[in-house]
Amino acid sequence: MIAGAGVLGLATAVALADAGCAVTVCDPADRNASGVAAGMIAPAFEAALDESARPHAGLLMAARNLWPALAERAGIELDRTGALAVGPDDWLDGVAASLTALDARPMDIGGGTARALAPGLSDTFARALLSREDWRVDAPVALAALRNTAEAAGVQFRPWRVSSRGNADVLVVATGASADLELAPELAGLAPIKGHIVRVARPAVGAVVRSRGIYAAPGEAMAFGATMEPGFGDDAVDPTKAEPLLAAGLQLFPGLAGTPATFAAGVRAATSDGLPMVGPSAEPAVVLAVGPRRNGWLLAPLVAQIVTAFVTGRDPGPYAGRFDPKRFRA
């Protein structure tokens, strides 16, 4: 049984079903962080721009490398155009140095090339950095595809909140930012980070664009994200947080001005070292799959692989130690 039908629960459900397990996914809600996310599979820029991700760049890259197989399995379109950074020269120089140190091979390109890669990008940018290491999925579309794939693989779905393992052989806890401590005591170690995101209702293609404090991720709508609001665990939309994102996004893509926009918010769950907790709980026959912070989409295939190894008694591989929930026990 899996509690939670976000990207971690669904990717794990597909992997467990493919390994021959009988799987039931329970989730009482139809809204979660996975469905509002931008869908960036972004080891390079996340490690370059987010200090808590930087020490884990190699691991993030390894997770990304599992995406082609998952995308093919679930019929998810994986866009590999790459990601651009635009902004003031001194900021771009710092980002270029970080990307180079991470072996993410940034290319310094002119504004015209950047606009060819990101159609609609403002012509005020004469220079950009391009990394091909970051990929992208359209998160709401990909979440639906994962669910369909799981159903086709025989996974059962129930609209229930899980409060205990009940009769299940194993319970996988993939409950996002919920702190349901009756499921596993380790969930007390998760902290919420609320994030607002804006979607402008016009289909967009091409590279993700990063700038200081804002990104634009194409898809069925153009997504401008995202705020980082530590300590807030509710997903209520606050227009005073979302409107600045819209304004900053329109500076990147001015042609989208006047297009209808929707505001949304989701809650990321984070541990104190920025890595998720994946593996056996202190609670018998309970396996955790929680806490991927800003990188739940990126990490999902790696988390699914590790959980499946624990459930089926196989070697969980080289990254399981760094995800071990026991690291916080002391």
Ligand X SMILES: Cc1cc2nc3c(=O)[nH]c(=O)nc-3n(C[C@H](O)[C@H](O)[C@H](O)COP(=O)(O)OP(=O)(O)OC[C@H]3O[C@@H](n4cnc5c(N)ncnc54)[C@H](O)[C@@H]3O)c2cc1C
Q: Which of 178, 211, 271, 308 binds ligand X (CB under 6 A)?
A: 178
Nearest to 210 by CA among 117, 103, 71: 117
Under the criterion CB under 6 A, does residue 34 sit at the interface with ligand X?
yes
**Which CB atom, from 131 or from 178, has the smaller least distance to ligand X?**
178
User: In whole angstroms, how close is the CB of 242 to ligand X at the nearest point?
Assistant: 10
Per the listing, tokens 């996974």 go with 155
**Distance in angstroms (rounded) separating the CA atoms of residues 301 and 11:** 6
Q: Which of 43, 87, 218, 296 binds ligand X (CB under 6 A)?
A: 296
Check if the beta carbon of residue 290 is closer than 8 Å to that of residue 303: no
Residue with Cβ nearer ligand X (31 or 112): 31
Dihedral over Cα of 226, 230, 236, 237: its sign: negative
DSSP line for 138-184: -HHHHHHHHHHHHHHTT-EEE-----S-TT-S-EEE--TT---TTT-
Q: Least distance from C-beta 117 to ligand X, angstroms?
A: 18
Beta carbon nearer to ligand X, 49 or 197:
197
- Residues 6 or more apart from 152 whose CB is under 8 A from it? none
> Does 176 help bind ligand X (rule: CB under 6 A)?
yes
Question: Does residue 6 belong to the site contacting ligand X (CB under 6 A)?
Answer: yes
* Two structure tokens written together for 196: 């607002």
Overall size of the chain counted in residues? 330
Bond preceding residue 226 cis, omega within 30 of 0: yes
Single out the residue of 14, 15, 39, 131 in contact with ligand X (rule: CB under 6 A).
39
DSSP-derived 3-state class of residue 204? strand
Among 45, 125, 297, 310, binds ligand X (CB under 6 A): 297
Residue 325 near ligand X by CB under 6 A: no
What the block records as the tokens of 57 is 């760049």
Part in contact with ligand X (CB under 6 A); list of ranges 74-82, 120-128, 174-182, 242-250: 174-182
For residues 330 and 326, give the distance between their C-alpha atoms in angstroms, rounded to a whole number. Answer: 8
Contact status: 5 vs ligand X (CB under 6 A): yes
Q: Is 130 in the site for ligand X (CB under 6 A)?
A: no
Q: Backbone dihedral region of 4: left (phi > 0), alpha (psi from -120 to 50 degrees) or beta?
A: left
The reply to whether 12 sits near ligand X by the rule CB under 6 A is no
Nearer to ligand X, 8 or 126 (CB): 8
Which of 96, 99, 197, 214 lies at the binding interface for ligand X (CB under 6 A)? 197
Question: Considering only CA atoms, which of 82, 86, 85, 97 is closest in space to residue 132?
Answer: 82
Binding test (CB under 6 A) with ligand X, winner from 29, 97, 126, 188: 29
Residue corresponding to tokens 């976000």: 6
Contact pick of 268, 287, 302, 323 for ligand X (by CB under 6 A): 268
Query: Interacting stretch for ligand X, rule CB under 6 A, among 74-82, 123-131, 290-298, 304-312?
Result: 290-298
Nearest CA-CA partner of 82 in 39, 121, 41, 123? 41
Name the residues that contact ligand X, by CB under 6 A. 3-9, 26-27, 29, 32-34, 36-40, 161-162, 174-178, 180, 195, 197, 225-226, 266, 268, 290, 292, 294-298
